[in-house]
Chain A
Amino acid sequence: MNKENIVEEKHDYHGSKMGMWMFLFTELLLFTGLFLLYSRFRSRYSMEFHAASTELNKTIGILNTAILLTSSLTMALSINAIKEGKKNLSIMFQRLTIFLALFFLVNKYFEWSSKIHHGIYPNSPELLERGNGKTIFFGLYYLLTGIHGLHVIAGIILIAIMMLLTKKDLINKEAFIKLENTGLYWHLVDIIWVYLFPVFYLIS
């Protein structure tokens, strides 16, 4: 073997993980801005927010919460599997996670399209007629669940890439930090939904 051609690759398990956590903190701050908007306007229009909240479909909200919580479970199990060298099991759990995430998006699609069909969307004439409180509620609803939805889509793409890498043995029992970091991202997406759900669907 030609010694000049040997390149030392830097594998920094802890550094990688720290980097991901740093990114997650920036994501938390992103959603803080959005939740700040929500909380300010909720205190201003608490009656209207309560009324508007009843127009959202609680059942789909609960179902979506259960879906994302389960997808977090399957994601964690996929990482455990690869740590034990069980490649096919890990891929199966990753596939399951993607499936659950797609199920979540399909539900979101039905929710949004039903609202839009009833004339409730940002800047719609019908919505503007209902007064500031309800207009702002639905504006925030679309904004927050929309940005969250984009994060779900990004997560699906990431996990799909991890599935490919696992199939090619580039993610394996010795080197799994990419999958672990993807898991961290996915759990954050779940945590954000855990706050979104009561805040929009369950205003008492």
Chain B
Amino acid sequence: MNEEKRSVAGFKTYVIVWLCLLLLTVLTVAVSGMKMGASGSLTSVVIATIKASLILLFFMHLKYERFLITAMLLLTVMTIAVIIGLTFFDVWYRY
């Protein structure tokens, strides 16, 4: 049985995404060198999430897949946010 031929990203798209990822890496390093205090670590995580999203959408074809997989991923991410987030409701008020 033939695997379904779906529209997928081409060579050009992949290379552009790769260049964006490298640029974002440079940006992360640059930002970490600047004095930002507490928001510095948040910025790093935000940039990392943008990179992860690019990898997910294009390299992992999420942009071209049916929404069910994205929905399941979002559910997983929310679970992770709850696990880490709710822990801090405890941790922050301990000391």
Q: Which residues in A have some Cβ–Cβ distance to B below 8 Å?
A: 11, 13-14, 17-18, 21-22, 25, 28-29, 32, 35-36, 39-40, 43-44, 58, 62, 65-66, 69-70, 72-73, 75-77, 80, 83, 174-177, 183-184, 187, 190-191, 194-195, 197-199, 202-204
Contact = CB atoms under 8 A, between A and B. Distances in A.
B29 A11 contact: no
B3 A18 contact: no
B69 A204 contact: no
11 contacts: A11-B3, A13-B1, A36-B83, A39-B87, A43-B92, A62-B29, A77-B14, A187-B60, A194-B52, A204-B33, A204-B36
Q: Which 9 A-B pairs have the closest CB atoms?
A: A204-B40, A202-B32, A198-B44, A73-B18, A25-B76, A13-B3, A204-B32, A191-B52, A32-B80
Nearest to A18: B69
A175 B1 CA distance: 8
Contact of B76 (A28, A44, A175, A183): A28
Interface of B: 1-5, 8-11, 14-15, 17-18, 21-22, 25, 28-29, 31-36, 40-41, 44-45, 47-48, 51-52, 55-56, 58-60, 65, 69, 72-73, 76-77, 79-80, 83-84, 87-88, 91-92, 95
Nearest to B81: A32
Given A36-B87, A174-B2, A187-B59, A195 B52 contact: yes
B55 A194 contact: yes
Question: Chain A at the B interface: mostly helix, strand, loop or mixed?
Answer: helix
Most buried by A among B9, B76, B87, B88: B76
A57 to B, nearest CB: 13
Given A13-B3, A28-B76, A77-B11, A198 B36 contact: no
Contact of A21 (B41, B51, B72, B83): B72
A199 B69 contact: no
Nearest to B84: A36
Nearest to B2: A174
A72 B5 CA distance: 22
A69 B73 contact: no
A35 B88 CA distance: 13
Given A80-B8, A204-B36, A191 B29 contact: no
A196 B50 CA distance: 14
Nearest to A21: B69
B48 A195 contact: yes
B73 A25 contact: yes
A197 B47 CA distance: 12
Contacts of A72: 18, 55, 59
Taking each of B32, B40, B59, B73, which has the highest tally of chain A beta carbons within 10 Å of its own beta carbon? B59
A40 B85 CA distance: 10
Contacts of B69: 17-18, 21
